[in-house]
């Protein structure tokens, strides 16, 4: 399991390549890792966070005080599986797991 952070994220390509080279199944924090060949991600939907941030900006621009706005927890999470990567490391993903994925990269 790879955790997210500014330093770790800056090395995501190298981390994914090392996991592939070692044939090590790994789970990553968001869809950015899938763009460079990550196997599985389960984490907060960045698209949903961006949309919800826009709602906050709208409220502030309409006069709401930022201190009066509630702090919210993420509400939408994504489960993405990269079958190309699974094949490269020789891993078979069971059909019932594939059925639960929000997106499957083929």
Name the superfamily (CATH) of residues 6-44+75-105. Answer: Response regulator (3.40.50.2300)
pLDDT for 105: 97
At residue 85, the pLDDT reads 97
Q: What is the pLDDT of residues 90-100, one digit of tens each?
A: 999 999 999 99
- The structure tokens listed for 18 are 């090392």
Decide the pairing of beta strands 103-105 and 77-82: parallel
pTM equals 0.85
**For range 57-73, the mean pLDDT:** 95
**In whole angstroms, what is the distance from residue 65 CA to residue 42 CA?**
33
Q: Strand 40-44's sheet: what is its strand order?
A: 27-28, 40-44, 77-82, 103-105
Each residue of 4-58: pLDDT tens digit? 899 999 999 999 999 999 999 999 999 999 999 999 999 999 999 999 999 999 9
């Amino acid at each position: 399991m790879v955790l997210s952070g500014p330093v770790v994220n800056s090395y995501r390509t190298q981390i994914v390549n090392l996991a592939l080279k070692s044939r090590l199944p790994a789970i990553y924090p968001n869809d950015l890792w899938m763009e460079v060949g990550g196997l599985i991600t389960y984490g907060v939907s960045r698209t949903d966070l961006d949309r919800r941030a826009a709602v906050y900006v709208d409220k502030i621009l309409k006069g709401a005080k930022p201190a009066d706005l509630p702090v919210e927890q993420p509400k939408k999470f994504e489960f993405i599986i990269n079958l190309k990567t699974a094949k490269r490391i020789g891993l078979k993903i069971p059909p019932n797991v594939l059925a639960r994925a929000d997106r499957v990269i083929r």
